[in-house]
A and B are shown apart, each in its own frame.
Chain A
Amino acid sequence: MTDESPAVICQDLCVVRGGVSVLPGLSVRVASGRVTGLLGPSGSGKTTLIRSVVGVQQVASGTVSVLGLPAGSAELRRRVAYVTQDASVYADLTVAQNVGYFASILGAPASDVDRVICEVGLEGREGDRVGQLSGGERSRVSLAVALLGSPEVLVLDEPTVGLDPVLRRDLWKMFGGLAATGLTLLISSHVMDEASRCDDLMLLRDGQLLAHDSVAAILTSTGTSDIESAFLSLVEGAP
């Protein structure tokens, strides 16, 4: 994990949802230009942390800054792209209409529409209505929208759920490629075997950070051979 100018800095972040403290004071830094995996079981606070980074979450206390600006600042709305857990696209529009609409909201060039549709492997499906696509295809449309323009930070909430293994591999390859061009990616997942695709890992449980390091470092420090075991060892080792 590199500490030079992190892309995201959370300081004592507290979030309360429905009377329950989901994040009871989280401090974390996400390195820029790397793929950081946010792993943890359902209900561990992954989505809440992601929403806080994007600036759509009401925060009880603490600060979140992204690219040196407070999360949710007007300037960040073009520089941070966000994919929600459910495919947030219009089911009653075609693939091209969906991507085209968001492109005009972002002020992205018209050529971007074809580019991102190709990048998620939906070329030839432009005229299909999103409501008639499979769940996996729908989440790819959602992902395509996030690739519009030139975001500097990509925040993805479980982007690979329900996708076939080949496509998952291709997407992770693409995420790696994006990071190589200088983008910062924060990707949540509850599938532990996706951890090996990430540069850094954040293991979250009950709103607490169990570990935050490179994959290799986490495996070494826990003396385990896979992230699932590392997670278990960290949970059991916790006081």
Chain B
Amino acid sequence: MTITRTVATARRVVQQLQHDHRTVALILVVPCVLMGLLAWMLSDADFNQYGAPLLGIFPLIVMFLTTSVATLRERESGTLERLLSMPIAKVDFVLGYALAFGLLGVVQALVVSGLAVGPFGLEVAGPTWALIVVAVIDALLGTALGLFVSAFAKTEFQAVQFMPALILPQLLLCGIVVPREELPTALRLLSDVLPMSYAVDATTEVMTSTSMSADFWLNVGIVALFMAVGLALGAGTLRRRTP
């Protein structure tokens, strides 16, 4: 692994995004509109309860979709084969994507959280920066999972289908719909091994306690661990030789 190649790859992905204003606009605007919709339709108490966790989940979903399609495009266009015939480590490629989309995730998290706690009036007990930390780590998790699943998709159609297959079950089991401790035992155990559960737990900490407890950092750490494993698997599933 080399820093220059990782950074060059990240810069190249950012350059590609710079040429695609519509995608960037959608990535930034859609979560804001959804958050506004929630603020409008829910009572203040309900908005605080559902808005905060969704603040972290939107970036996860958006980055998952973006990364899995972007990586698949590299496979289909032959640029991935060409890159892997060059002196670039697989980890450089994966980290380059994570860095670029992580950056986009930071911007997205700042914009959406800014709007949510500002005009939309989201109130949390803890500091706003903690919400942003969760949103960014979620965006990175989405990128890592997207990189990983793109190895199992042969077409962009298939890649998009991994979203409902992998993300929606997590959304149902992460504690927003039904508190995790009230789930049937089997489902609760399943939710224990899904990364989104910990992302929501971290947000719950921010919502309820004024000081950032060790629990908050533990949950953030667990999400980061899932991200690291996702990136490692993403790098591991890249193949220099193909059939």
Contacts and interface: CB of A to CB of B under 8 A. Distances in A.
A86 B242 CA distance: 16
Given A88-B79, A90-B79, A56 B8 contact: no
A92 B19 contact: yes
Given A88-B77, A89-B79, A97-B12, A77 B241 contact: no
A55 B86 contact: no
B15 A93 contact: yes
Contact residue range for chain A? Answer: 20 to 34
B241 A78 contact: no
Contact of A90 (B5, B12, B81): B12
A86 B77 contact: yes
Given A58-B243, A92-B19, A104-B4, A84 B88 contact: no
Interface residues of B, number: 25
Contacts of B19: 92-93, 129
Interface string A86-128: 1011111100010001101111000000000000000000000
B205 to A, nearest CB: 40
B82 A82 contact: yes
B77 A101 contact: no
A101 B86 CA distance: 12
A86 to B, nearest CB: 5
Interface in B194-231: none
Among B11, B78, B86, residue most surrounded by chain A Cβ atoms (within 10 Å): B86
Given A18-B243, A89-B79, A90-B77, 5 more contacts: A56-B85, A77-B87, A78-B87, A90-B16, A104-B4
Interface of A: 17-18, 54-59, 72, 74, 77-78, 80, 82, 84, 86, 88-93, 97, 101-102, 104-107, 129, 145
